[in-house]
Amino acid sequence: MKTYQHEVKYYECDRMGVTHHSNYIRFMEEARVDWLDQLGYGFDKIEADNVFSPVVSVSCEYKHPTTFKDVIDIEVNISKMSEMKFEFTYTMRKGEKVVCVGKSLHCFIENNRPVAISKRLPEFFKVVSGQMTHSEIG
């Protein structure tokens, strides 16, 4: 899978000239959307089947600051998955330096009710499970 790149915009920086912490959550979403598009299962395709994937939890650990015009490479992986939930991990780098690591946990719903994605969209489940870096399918 190709790593997602984000160039820090001026408006994403705070008064001290560093990337505001809240933007890293958005960068994670951008990278996740790109990752799913690369798999051929973008949100538009999944949502066309009336399945949605809200965020259940999100976390970030900031390692080093970034600033305007810095290019951040974002690696996305699936660290855990079950029939009902996927956990994505994100490693953000500026060059060789890790600037942020994060996680987001997502469930799947249809008609505002939880849905087992392994049964509802089995091919999607199979493709994503094939991308796991280590086996934590439960």
Amino acid at 135: S
**What is the share, in percent, of the chain residues with pLDDT greater than 90?**
91
Per-residue pLDDT of 89-113, as tens digits, reads 999 999 999 999 999 999 999 999 9
Q: What pTM was estimated for this model as a whole?
A: 0.92
Per-residue pLDDT of 11-21, as tens digits, reads 999 999 999 99
Q: Which long-range contacts (CB under 8 A, 24 or more apart) does 22-26 make?
A: 24/60, 24/62, 24/92, 24/100, 24/102, 25/58, 25/60, 25/102
Q: What is the CA radius of gyration of the chain?
A: 16
* Domains parsed from the chain with CATH numbers: 4-128 (3.10.129.10)
Residue whose token pair is 């994100």: 90
